[in-house]
Structure 1
Amino acid sequence: MVTVRQKPDFSLERAAWAAGDVPVAGVDEVGRGPWAGPVVACAVVLDPDRVPEGLDDSKKLSAARREALFEAICATAEVSLAFAPPARIDGHNIRQATLWALARACAGLPRAPRLLLVDGNDLPPVPCAARTIIGGDAIVASIAAASIVAKVTRDRLMASLGLAHPGYGFERHMGYGTPEHQTALAELGVCRHHRKTFAPVRARLGV
């Protein structure tokens, strides 16, 4: 038997619109695990009449497909981004910094959502109704769109940091704890974009 994986669809959003919860937004983040760079959060309100085809969890898409969908989403939807920099992550912990960024992304939308669909099981502090959905980026179109925009935005940012800080390889590993990054950290030390409370970076600082 061949199992066909379900792709994200717009059914939850359509039900919310039918119930009067207009607009409904999806929100997701990228970058909780890396040793360097920000957490990037994105909130998206899709146009029911112009939902881009091929939306999916950003991790399941090729870089080229993510880029194409990024352009399509930004051209047809309401989009808001927020960034939790390393200083906030170090000052508040990764969970609190992530929830702050998710709430900021929601607050930055052109229209305040009546309902927020959140990937995962942790609700950000928002003034509207919200629903958590584990694995939402693989189920809900708006969350998938948010994951794509957040991923492309963060990858572009890390590529620019790679140019500004040659030798770290940020443009390749995006700040994650790869062997290349570990070697660079040992040889070059900690830069201002590293998360100093994360164990490998803290160890390099001798704290």
Structure 2
Amino acid sequence: MRSGDIPFKFDLTDLLARARRQVGGRIGDVTLNLPFISIAVSPKDRERTVAREVVLRLRDRRVLSAWECCDGCIERALTSLMEIRKIIVDKEVELAELQDGPLFLLLDAMAAGIRQFMTFEELLKRDEDAPPHLCFGEFNRPPDVRQAYFDGLEILRGHLSRCLGQIALIAGMPMPTDGIVENYQGPWQLEAYQAPPQLPEPSED
């Protein structure tokens, strides 16, 4: 059961600033929509090829659409997320020479979402007497810890689905660009993201 709560917020401040510096301000044939900003890009052939591979490998992952009902489901979801993270890292290694490109940026956004969810997941296992976390501050355990997992996974799925939609756009695949997972489509859920401060002006290079 989903409560609709947002138990934590993604922080993409550094990534969005990087997007403005690296690819913002350029004339491109593809417009990518990220939380709070849009950027025009011209993907290289190598990026389009890898983007197709990423979408094909991840679009049917059960963790992106399954609804958990018990602790066993949660454990399987966490294992699957680690597998997705490995795929992302492997693809970033393939793109080592294109780290300033749009696909690497979107893969980083996916990796950041998973990493921040895992930090949140660690908080759920913290002792109640542990000191406040540097980023998340005070953390009061909800009456049902599983509900917190469910709600956290829910916003992570939306984040990953919309990232994959933008990757499908780079790939030129005929798929919904606002999210490739049916139940996680539509505009970015901005309330699930920390609003960035004033972003740097686009690079003129």
TM-score calculated relative to the size of structure 1: 0.28
TM-score calculated relative to the size of structure 2: 0.28
